[in-house]
A = this chain, B = another copy of it.
Amino acid sequence: MNFTGSHILSIEQFERADIQRVFDVADAMEPYALRRRVTRVLEGAILGNMFFEPSTRTRVSFGSAFNLLGGDVRETTGFESSSITKGESLYDTARVLSGYSDVICMRHPAAGSVAEFAQASRVPVINGGDGANEHPTQALLDLYTIRKELRSKGRTLDGLRIAMIGDLKHGRTVHSLCKLLCLFDRVQVTLVSPQELSMPEYLVEGLRNAGHQVVVTDNLQTSISRIDIAYSTRIQEERFTSKNEADLYRGRFRLNQSIYTEYCEPNTVIMHPLPRDSRQEANELDNDLNANPNLAIFRQTDNGVLVRMALFALVLDVVDQVEKYSRDVRWYNALRNQV
């Protein structure tokens, strides 16, 4: 894909080489995200951070990524304006808002709305999540995190062994991850969920057609013993006929330090798209894992900044200029030594 000026709407746009390109640029962004250096390459550029549905962390992550490249951010949160509710078309909204910025990140509750918006926009649009449809930067940051965690162990995405755990029927992030994994070789995927919440068949087929080994199960303990990544998701109580039924499933898919120690290989990496529900009755990843250095859930969100910086730099075609407009950091920097 030619990134310059492109909309980033769906992970379906990405071929393996595109993924590689995004990840390499994300790697190059690390000194700036960790404040070893500051760059002002996008000084004067404006991100229109249009969140027609609230999502603090995704919104702030996009905004910070743009600031880290030197650009300014104008944003909206929720359907504050009545223009859309008064019958304004997405076409009009897009034509107007795209006159105020150089690139737009948009989140919207309606599936397909971001693509419709992008068609009328005069500047590149990045999908920040459109309902049940797509959230491509989340998918990319997940895969980027897996790659990074594997690399520190001398491994690659080819040959990955991963278990996806929890509500695999409704989880947008695990669906995207399945699609992305089809671009790689020899992946072993274990899908751990109650039968009622199993991964949609077309995604399982996709994995198998890609030559991957897929195991479908509802037993957590037997599934996590020989994997590189345990990707946990939330069990959504509201999908069940009763709270009691939901609790049964949750009991089985709850991961804590003692289960980890008993069943997992050393250094098995734990991931989760966040937020994790830390209330007693949910608690899919127990807080006692917080001390476990293989809990990668906050490295995931940190990596989100890198991936979003990479996409901005690619779409606005400044990858080669980031360093040129950079300098050392002048202030106290708590982030410097975190990776």
Contacts and interface: CB of A to CB of B under 8 A. Distances in A.
* Chain A interface main SS type: loop
Interface in A55-78: 55-57, 59-61, 63-64, 67-68, 70, 72-74, 76-78
A64 B100 contact: yes
Contacts of A186: none
A270 to B, nearest CB: 14
Given A38-B44, A87-B275, A331 B102 contact: yes
B329 A122 contact: no
A332 B95 CA distance: 19
Given A61-B100, A278-B89, A315-B332, A77 B80 contact: yes
23 contacts: A5-B334, A35-B102, A55-B81, A56-B81, A56-B83, A64-B74, A67-B74, A73-B74, A77-B80, A83-B274, A87-B279, A88-B278, A89-B287, A95-B301, A96-B301, A99-B335, A100-B305, A102-B334, A315-B332, A316-B331, A316-B332, A318-B330, A318-B331
Q: Which of A96, A301, A302 has the most CB of B within 10 A?
A: A96
A46 B64 contact: yes
A112 B246 CA distance: 33
Contacts of A41: 330-331
> What 9 A-B pairs have minimum CB-CB distances, sorted nearest first?
A38-B44, A56-B81, A88-B275, A87-B277, A83-B275, A316-B331, A89-B278, A317-B332, A87-B279
Contacts of A77: 77, 80
Interface string A313-339: 001111001000100011111110010
A240 interface: no
A97 interface: yes
A124 interface: yes
A18 interface: no
Interface of A: 4-5, 35, 38-46, 48, 54-57, 59-61, 63-64, 67-68, 70, 72-74, 76-78, 80-83, 86-89, 91-92, 95-97, 99-102, 122-124, 274-279, 282, 287, 290, 297-298, 301-302, 305, 315-318, 321, 325, 329-335, 338
A40 to B, nearest CB: 7
Given A57-B81, A91-B287, A317-B331, A43 B40 contact: yes
Contacts of A277: 86-88
Given A5-B332, A56-B76, A87-B282, 13 more contacts: A4-B332, A35-B44, A42-B330, A54-B80, A72-B72, A77-B80, A78-B80, A87-B279, A88-B274, A89-B278, A100-B305, A102-B334, A316-B331
